[in-house]
Amino acid sequence: MERYDLIVIGAGPSGLSAGIEAAKAGASVIIFDENEKPGGQLFKQIHKFFGSKEHRAKVRGFNIGYQLLKEADEAGAKVELSATVLGIYQDKEVVVKIKEGIKHFKADSIIVATGAAENMVPFEGWTLPGVIGAGAAQTMLNLHGILPGKKVLMLGSGNVGLVVSYQLKQCGCDVVALVDAAPRIGGYGVHAAKISRMGIPFYLPYTIKKVEGTDHVTGVTIAKLDPSFKFIEGTEMHFDVDTVCVAVGLSPMSQLLKMAGCKMDDNPRKGGQVPVIDEHGQTSIPGIFAAGDVSGIEEASSAMIEGRQAGIYAANYLGYIEDKLMKEKEDELDKALDGLRQGMFAPSNRGKKIEKTEEGIDISNNLLAKGFVADEEIERFPGVVHKLGIHPVMECTQNIPCNPCQDACPKKCIKIGSKITSLPAVDESVDCIGCGMCVASCPGQAIFLVNENVGEGMAEITLPYEIYPLPEVGEKGIALSRAGHPVCIAEVVKVRTGLAFDKTAVLTIRVPKEFAMKARFYKKEKLAKSV
């Protein structure tokens, strides 16, 4: 039997963060993870994270994973991989399957950070090969470099469905449609807009009627739902696809806590069965804590902060941190957590329809229903201005906790202010130098630089672009609108890829000036012809 001060179960964002804090305080820590690689979901998150600069916004998820591993190593927290915890027994004895054997461990405190599992929804044909979770598709793409299929239909418009659709498209898959049974898109509008302008249509409120095929998926039929979630006859649409991705939410993997005897609560708002925890993340069993998705579904940024808090609480429980210092650290992290839980998508707003932004501006209904802000709606947002010369146009229209753009601009053209959820506004008194830092830094890819008149009746639009191989300067392709419709011919005049852009290329296209506020994406002509 090996003994530690603290056993952490799960080496994802929250478990690693917890282990780091407790080890830094002096506790002996071991972190178990059943996977071959640490990081939980972080290593398949190739997109840039939202949030504040202090909490790693605009850093790609997998890079956050590397940072955490390094930190854990420096703090002296041991990470044991391919180590499946089979049970938590009396007096905090933990039984672990490590490779081909069983080992026993004991600790004075345990932090359970086991995360969550994907939900499924049954429909005719759901067990056919080719129907997979969106998370599974992401694992195949980003960890193993395998395409799950060539033509994909995505069910679910939460952030997972939106982000994975974008990544499928980046890998060259044809995403034929994004379908959700809810009447409104569930995830961030900027994520939806990003895939809309690539030409992926949204169908809401629709759901899958049946998946066709004998030994694998060959097609799918969707149909529209009435307000009582019944199919409306005659609205069926068929798509030839080889893959159906399902992104219909997550459920906490809380079985270990239940087995340990912790008091549980079945809470649909938290995604399912979660442990009852106090304000310090402690369960009904003293010394056993829970952090991250296992205590209620949120996202990775808040899981990391919750993890740090749990690590600090456990260190205090173990006697390594005094109450006063714990309180100081706790207050600081509470503030950060509060910041992330603000805005339109705050946990307290789940399921509510928000009509106006915090600034009192009407929310774009088109964005919620179709995935893009309509031409007649876009002008009312503070990031959209018109002036002579090059200037940023920020199509950021929902209050989300994110502010990297404010610090990205070396000229301080962009203002969000102290409230992290405020919509970015343009300071018109300062001249934009067109450096493109804001364009590349926006995790929602919602910032464009527009020069509405470069002479000869032309305008230039600078946009974020992440589809490789990159276009070449001088080539001509199609400019697409926010809805993903072709609007005009566009010539690529600049392609910038700096280290600071972190693999988001900053592309400048030239279009007739009447399309300056319409063209928002570039499609290579060869691809355009093949469709």
Of the ranges 54-62, 84-92, 191-199, 509-517, which one interacts with another protein (CB under 8 A)? 84-92
Using the structure block, give the residue that is written with the tokens 């940024």: 301
Q: Binding to another protein by residue 278, rule CB under 8 A?
A: no
Asked if residue 469 has a cis previous peptide bond (ω within 30° of 0), the answer is yes
Question: How many CB atoms lie under 10 A from the CB of residue 142?
Answer: 20
- CB contact set of 512 (below 8 Å; sequence gap of 6+): 457, 458, 459, 488
Q: Binding to another protein by residue 488, rule CB under 8 A?
A: no
Q: How far is the CB of 225 from another protein (least distance, A)?
A: 16
Q: Binding to another protein by residue 527, rule CB under 8 A?
A: no
Q: What size, in residues, is the chain?
A: 531
Of 406, 349, 355, the closest CA to residue 383 belongs to 406
Asked if 174 and 181 touch (Cβ cutoff 8 Å), the reply is no
Q: Binding to another protein by residue 350, rule CB under 8 A?
A: no
The size of the interface with another protein (CB under 8 A), counted in residues, is 34
Which 328-347 positions form the footprint of another protein (CB under 8 A)?
Answer: none
Query: Which x/- pattern over 466-485 shows residues binding another protein (rule: CB under 8 A)?
Result: --------------------
Q: What angle do CA 115, 120, 125 make, to 5 degrees?
A: 155
Q: Binding to another protein by residue 351, rule CB under 8 A?
A: no
Query: Which x/- pattern over 101-120 shows residues binding another protein (rule: CB under 8 A)?
Result: xxxx------------x-xx
- Alpha helices in 153-299, H assignment, sequence order: 159-170, 189-196, 255-260
Q: According to CB under 8 A, which one of 230, 255, 332, 335 is a site residue for another protein?
A: 255
Which 256-275 positions form the footprint of another protein (CB under 8 A)?
Answer: 256, 258-259, 264, 266-268, 272-273
**Element housing 390 (H / E):** strand 390-394
Q: Binding to another protein by residue 136, rule CB under 8 A?
A: no
Q: According to CB under 8 A, which one of 3, 70, 74, 87 is a site residue for another protein?
A: 87
Asked if 35 and 81 touch (Cβ cutoff 8 Å), the reply is yes
Q: Binding to another protein by residue 146, rule CB under 8 A?
A: no
Q: How far is the CB of 365 from another protein (least distance, A)?
A: 31
Q: According to CB under 8 A, which one of 46, 85, 396, 413 is a site residue for another protein?
A: 85
Nearer to another protein, 258 or 419 (CB): 258
Q: Binding to another protein by residue 493, rule CB under 8 A?
A: no
Q: Binding to another protein by residue 97, rule CB under 8 A?
A: yes
Q: According to CB under 8 A, which one of 76, 82, 95, 280 is a site residue for another protein?
A: 95
DSSP 501: G
- For residues 472 and 485, what is the distance between their CA atoms, to the nearest angstrom? 22
> What is each CA distance from 200 to 154, 302, 396, 478, in whole angstroms?
10, 30, 20, 16
Of the ranges 55-63, 80-88, 316-324, 390-398, which one interacts with another protein (CB under 8 A)? 80-88
- Alpha helices in 341-423, H assignment, sequence order: 365-370, 375-378, 404-408
Q: Binding to another protein by residue 415, rule CB under 8 A?
A: no
Query: Which x/- pattern over 203-242 shows residues binding another protein (rule: CB under 8 A)?
Result: ----------------------------------------
> What is each CA distance from 207 to 121, 201, 229, 386, in whole angstroms?
10, 14, 9, 40
Taken in order 330, 336, 340, 341, the sign of the CA dihedral is: positive
Q: How far is the CB of 93 from another protein (least distance, A)?
A: 11
Asked if 383 and 420 touch (Cβ cutoff 8 Å), the reply is no
Q: How far is the CB of 496 from another protein (least distance, A)?
A: 45
Catalog residues that contact another protein under the rule CB under 8 A: 1, 34, 84-87, 89, 95, 97, 100-104, 117, 119-122, 124, 126-127, 251, 253, 255-256, 258-259, 264, 266-268, 272-273
